[in-house]
A and B are shown apart, each in its own frame.
Chain A
């Protein structure tokens, strides 16, 4: 009986992905009856490889993906290694954690406005320091190397990896290991890297893979910050699949398969690099260097990274908010010349309905995901092994590769265009994140409490409901908040499965963002953020309220 939960969770995740992939293979080889083509043909593949930008687009996907992942991971490790156990560390994690709730696109828009030649930094320094009374002709956003794209990704991935690392720390026995290493004369960073990192990395490996796969195939951030001549492969695929010439749909499908292959190869390379670094790391650890002096450089570096991310996201969002109240705002004015409420007033008609729909969908999908995650965890007391790797399937297979196919299946089954359908589509992406956040606290739960309850006569179900879940309230709340934020941020699933009949704050935000109108983007980025932020606040408040009189449940 108990295993049903596990299999249900795996089915929810794996079946839609596999069905969706099946739906893209046909068109990739020329089979697309709706366009009158029932012949298998290599033509779409040939057309794909004949596209002159393919090499560059592939290279960009790989370089920006690897760079963003490596930088995010390095920075996360550095922040934790250099500052774990200090007061500032607690503060940093509290500030960065809500960033998880922030939609990628909003963060990217904020960064774009901050660093653009006509952006806030340039305005603040002009003309008194720079002499610019017109924006300088500098290529900072959409640069051909994708550095702006990498920066935008790092802003969002560091908080995610940080949260994953925090969850893994208790099981890695990090504080005591660190204490021993320090007692033996190791520097903070060196000691952490040698004694704790190997155990922690083993636990955050799958989230890291998810970051790599996501960074390589992201569409919205790449659209806002990424290179354009050509763009990354994922953006180009989306362009083909929305091309007026319907024949391009075949090329888009072929590209989607290529994108999937690229991600798989990249993951394999990353896995290989893990072995290499592991081998080198073992020799380095065995060398016994204490690395005390390194701390002088690395601790401020970690702090600077954290502060920079906080500032970039914070100022970027503040900039967007200011735009949402801006009338005329010319360069180089630091503040709008005219302030107005009109940008907000013009949007308010549908706002209530869209917010309600978005909240209902997010609430529903997260509740189902939480129930399935608990069922799956309850059914597999151990680590779960390779089977649980399937949980990550929707995070690793690029959305652009399987969602169009999945949408066709939903159509055939008549399951599209309703809030329920969108809720189920969101579940595919919400469940892995909920599981990710919940799994480690779940396993870290002190089983002795359960044994005590059993000894007092409670059956397994009662132990779950009366002891384990209440004790895990805080973890459940965080998992709920993350799941909720994930659902709110979904764009492609809402668009394709919702059939335009279901609007969410994100489908609206992206549609309006296509205007490039910073005032509108400001309004909708704020709206898009408001729901997840409110849920985060609620999820932090509930345990605090519940555990008011329970000393043992306070955060240590």
Chain B
């Protein structure tokens, strides 16, 4: 199957630099002027009311500051937007495309960048870019081991945290071996979303980190190593825990919200999420009992960033650039980090901000269930995207098709 990809990757590498030469010198006054009156279509997952409300509030700012209208196209799946751009290229619509901005990372980003479907590089030319802390957060420059190279502008950072109800589970298992033992003692009280779901596959990668002696192999493509030998301990781990999962591993929740609902319903005792502030925000909204707390593994948990990317054929590139810049504004970043709003972690470096902007961040309450930054432990680098695809495919063959 990879043959299709390599041929197009070659084509892409020839066609892309057209934009690459011209863009790093963005004439910001020109962009602001041309964007006047544009409507920017931001394609983003629409499954979380808190995120939707946040995007709507960003839209109000975009309108007020630049006279640009923001339309949030609520997707059931980010890949719908990717599909859209592919179909447009197939139909020869190389300008005036329907997608202006995509909220993206991981395999979707890798695919689009590979295929030359992204506009850029633009991120490092944004006026707010100097505020981004690239030293403390190298993950804003490298997405799943792939250099972003300015084709996506990072706007939020995530790290996997586990969520548990401290009322029923006083002391949670704080490492993979501890979790392994806990599952054996508490059958039916743990599960993970079914791969290829993003969070479910991430759990597999987290487990892989936990069972490998040398996780550095994960930084390279999966083809470069003896895959069978490297992953054997992972499958042994899964073989062992599967009979003791929720519903004996005969069915898995669909995604992160479904997993969170199981925790809220008391069907499971431990869930996990990529947004460390999710539990606090859900408690604030009355969707989760206020005894829920979070923890991380002693060996560290996966960390990654979310990006805004602009398709190569976007109809409103200027408006899209304004949005990408606006969302790096300290006030907006602080709003996203507010646990009553989203609880996302900012990509900005506090030491790079004006004192008053910094004060806004420092005054933020973390939320009842959110760990302090010092308690978040090590953020583990996301493996090369080929691991995600390969492991999810293998999981399907081993556990996903056997009923």
Contact = CB atoms under 8 A, between A and B. Distances in A.
Contact of A244 (B108, B261, B265, B267): B108
A36 B49 contact: no
A417 B250 CA distance: 41
B252 interface: yes
A285 B267 CA distance: 54
A511 B5 contact: no
B124 interface: no
Nearest to B385: A244
Contacts of A43: 1, 3
Interface in A334-354: 338, 340, 342-343, 346-347, 349
Interface stretch (A177-185, A515-523, A547-555): A515-523
Contact of B255 (A33, A250, A514): A514
Contacts of B400: 53, 228-230
B4 A32 contact: yes
Contacts of B106: 244
B172 to A, nearest CB: 17
B86 A349 contact: no
A500 B265 contact: no
B252 A229 contact: yes
Nearest to B47: A515
Contacts of A144: 250-251, 403
A411 B251 CA distance: 39
B289 A246 contact: no
A508 B246 CA distance: 30
B188 interface: yes
Contacts of A519: 287
A244 B79 contact: yes
Interface in A267-285: none
A144 B88 CA distance: 38
B257 interface: yes
Nearest to B43: A500
B252 A516 contact: no
A408 interface: yes
Interface string B69-94: 00101111101111110111111110
A143 B76 CA distance: 23
Interface stretch (A63-71, A235-243, A532-540): A235-243
B8 A36 contact: yes
Given A229-B403, A328-B287, A411 B47 contact: no
B285 interface: yes
A143 B87 CA distance: 35
B389 interface: yes
B250 A52 contact: no
A342 B340 CA distance: 14
A228 B252 contact: yes
A412 B8 CA distance: 21
B194 A229 contact: yes
A520 B41 CA distance: 23
Most buried by A among B254, B289, B399: B254
Contacts of A142: 251
A248 B79 CA distance: 12
A400 to B, nearest CB: 13
A353 to B, nearest CB: 10
Contact of B74 (A230, A246, A511): A511
A390 to B, nearest CB: 27
A246 B7 contact: no
Nearest to A329: B264
Nearest to A223: B254
A53 to B, nearest CB: 3
A512 interface: yes
A132 to B, nearest CB: 10
Contacts of A228: 194, 251-252, 254, 400
B99 A247 contact: no
A134 to B, nearest CB: 5
A53 B401 CA distance: 5
B67 to A, nearest CB: 20
Classify chain A's interface size.
Answer: 35 or more
Interface in A477-505: 495, 499-501, 503
A449 interface: no
B111 interface: yes
Contacts of A513: 47, 76
Nearest to B116: A36
A504 to B, nearest CB: 11
A516 B4 contact: no
Nearest to B255: A516
B270 to A, nearest CB: 14
Given A244-B79, A244-B82, A514-B46, A239 B90 contact: no
Given A227-B403, A417-B98, A340 B246 contact: no
A110 interface: no
Nearest to B249: A229
B86 A512 contact: no
A53 B396 contact: yes
B49 A499 contact: no
B250 A229 contact: yes
Contact of A137 (B4, B247, B253): B247
A510 interface: yes
B401 A500 contact: no
A243 B79 contact: yes
A330 B77 contact: no
Given A47-B1, A408-B87, A517 B257 contact: yes
B48 interface: yes
Given A142-B251, A228-B251, A515-B48, A330 B285 contact: no
Given A346-B53, A515-B47, A229 B1 contact: no
B164 to A, nearest CB: 15
Contacts of B82: 244, 246
Given A56-B401, A340-B286, A412 B92 contact: yes
B307 to A, nearest CB: 14
Contact of A518 (B43, B196, B247, B261): B261
Contacts of A511: 45-47, 74-76
B107 A134 contact: no
Contact of A118 (B110, B266, B401): B266
Nearest to B402: A229
A34 B401 contact: no
Given A499-B98, A515-B48, A250 B8 contact: no
A327 interface: yes
A130 B245 CA distance: 23
B76 A517 contact: no
A520 B49 contact: yes
A456 B234 CA distance: 87
Contact of B46 (A230, A407, A416, A512): A512
B389 A330 contact: no
B301 interface: no
A239 B393 CA distance: 12
A342 B92 contact: no
**Interface pairs A-B: 7 shortest CB-CB:** A36-B8, A53-B401, A34-B90, A515-B47, A244-B107, A411-B91, A327-B286
19 contacts: A34-B86, A34-B89, A37-B8, A47-B1, A56-B401, A56-B403, A57-B401, A118-B265, A118-B267, A144-B251, A229-B251, A244-B106, A347-B49, A500-B73, A500-B81, A500-B84, A512-B49, A514-B47, A516-B258
Given A137-B247, A500-B43, A500-B84, 11 more contacts: A137-B267, A144-B403, A244-B79, A245-B111, A328-B287, A411-B87, A511-B46, A511-B74, A512-B46, A516-B47, A516-B257
Interface of B: 1-5, 7-8, 10-11, 41, 43, 45-49, 52-53, 56, 71, 73-77, 79-84, 86-93, 98-99, 106-108, 110-111, 115, 188, 194, 196, 246-248, 250-255, 257-258, 260-261, 264-267, 285-289, 385, 389, 396-397, 399-403
Interface of A: 30, 32-37, 43, 47, 51-53, 56-57, 117-118, 134-135, 137-139, 142-144, 223, 227-230, 239, 241-251, 327-328, 330-331, 338, 340, 342-343, 346-347, 349, 404, 407-408, 411-412, 416-417, 495, 499-501, 503, 507-508, 510-520
